[in-house]
Amino acid sequence: MTETWIVGINPVEGALANDPERIRELLVEQNSKNARLNEIIAVARKRGIQVRTMGKEQLEKTSGESRHQGVVARYETPPMLGENDLEGLIEAAGHDALVLVLDGVTDPHNLGACLRSAAAAKVTAVVVPKDRAVGLTPTVRRASAGGADLVPMVAVTNLARALRTLKDAGVWITGLDGETEKTIYQVDFKGPVALVLGSEGDGMRRLTVDTCDFVAKIPMPGRMESLNVSVATGIVLFEVLRQRGVK
């Protein structure tokens, strides 16, 4: 059993709402004036979760986190999904399957923001490589504002093989790359699709690009060459929803 700390008001609220059975205890800052903490305590006690109060410095020392906002939760980490789980997730989603593939995102704030957008867009799964990428850390959870608890995250050892698994399941794959003529507005996203975005610095790896069915760019008429990966993720995810007529 692997445990981690979920840190901060929004991430703890998200875990209490979406995955309370994995919270082993709640640690709350003593004599805090934040009314939201009282609400969190009430919800935790209602769900039978042990609540302990302690001083601010002791809370920081126990959790190892300084930006705790007065609350941390000791959380049993669920087993990470793997490549073998992809087919079942795609089958359950059917025609509306929407997969986000992140090829080597290493910044935890970027991954958290991507998960937040993925949760808002009701993404079927987020696929990441096991190596050379950030995992589901407390910082990622905090940055996701609860999104980490709402979207299945699949870690794979071989990303190109995972993309071929998606293709075999009837999913069309579009990679984002600024060095191409086709734009995301010229790609048909109305069927089962996967969107692939590369790392913050280098973009998609060549083997990943070669495995995609289409490569497209976000048009930028301004004087910037690229966008932050989490911003690009939000733009393309909601272009998919726009094309699908989601209201």
Which residues contribute to the annotated binding site? 198, 218, 227
Question: Is 159 within 8 Å of 181 (Cβ atoms)?
Answer: no
Radius of gyration of the chain measured on its C-alpha atoms: 19
Q: Which of 218, 226, 138 is nearest to 174 (CA)?
A: 218
Instruction: For residues 155 and 124, give the distance between their C-alpha atoms in angstroms, rounded to a whole number.
Output: 14
Instruction: For residues 53 and 30, give the distance between their C-alpha atoms in angstroms, rounded to a whole number.
Output: 5
Q: Residue 40 contacts by C-beta under 8 Å, 6 or more apart in sequence? A: 9, 12, 13, 16, 26, 28, 71
- For 123-137, give the DSSP string: -SEEEEESSSS--S-
Q: Which alpha helices (H) appear in 136-189, and where do they start and end?
A: 138-144, 159-168
Binding residues for S-adenosyl-L-methionine: 198, 218, 227
